[in-house]
Structure 1
Amino acid sequence: MDKYNKIIQELIQFRNDRDWEQFHDSKNLALAISLEASELNELFLWKKDDEVENINKDRLKEEIADILSFTFLLAEKHNLDVFDILSEKIKKNALKYPIDKAKGTAKKYNEL
Structure 2
Amino acid sequence: MPEQDTGFSEALALARRFRDERDWAQFHNPKDLAASIAIEAGELLETFQWSGADLQREDRRAETVDELADVLLYCVYLADALGVDAPTIMADKLARNGRRYPTEKARGNARKWSAE
Q: Could you say which TM-score interval applies, normalised by the shorter chain?
A: 0.7 to 0.9
Match of 1:20 among 24, 28, 32: 24
TM-score with structure 2 length normalisation?
0.79
Structure number with higher helix proportion: 1
Unaligned runs of 5+ residues in structure 2 are 1-5
Greater Cα offset, 102-111 or 64-73:
102-111
Partner of 2:62: 58
How far apart, in 2, do the equivalents of 1:81 and 1:10 lie? 15
Once the 2 structures are TM-superposed, how far is the Cα of residue 110 of structure 1 from its aligned partner? 4.2
**What percentage of aligned pairs have identical amino acids?**
33
Tell me the number of residue pairs that the alignment of Structure 1 and Structure 2 aligns. Answer: 109
Q: 2:41 aligns with which of 37, 41, 44?
A: 37
* Matched residue SS, 1:109: coil
The answer for unaligned runs of 5 or more in structure 1 is: none
TM normalised by structure 1 equals 0.82
Asked whether the 8 Å contact 1:8–1:73 carries over to 2, the reply is no
Taking only aligned residues, the RMSD between alpha carbons, in angstroms, comes to 2.1
In structure 2, distance between residues paired with 1:5 and 1:97: 28
| Aligned-partner Cα distance in 2 for 1:27–1:68 | 16
Which residue identity lines up with residue 108 of structure 2 in the other structure?
G
Structure 1 residue 32: Cα displacement: 0.2
2:89 alignment partner AA: I
Instruction: Confirm or deny that 1:70 pairs with 2:81.
Output: no
1:88 equivalent to 2:68? Answer: no
Q: Report the CA distance between 1:4 and its aligned residue.
A: 3.8
Change (3 A) 1:98 1:6: closer
* Separation in 1, partners of 2:69, 2:89: 19
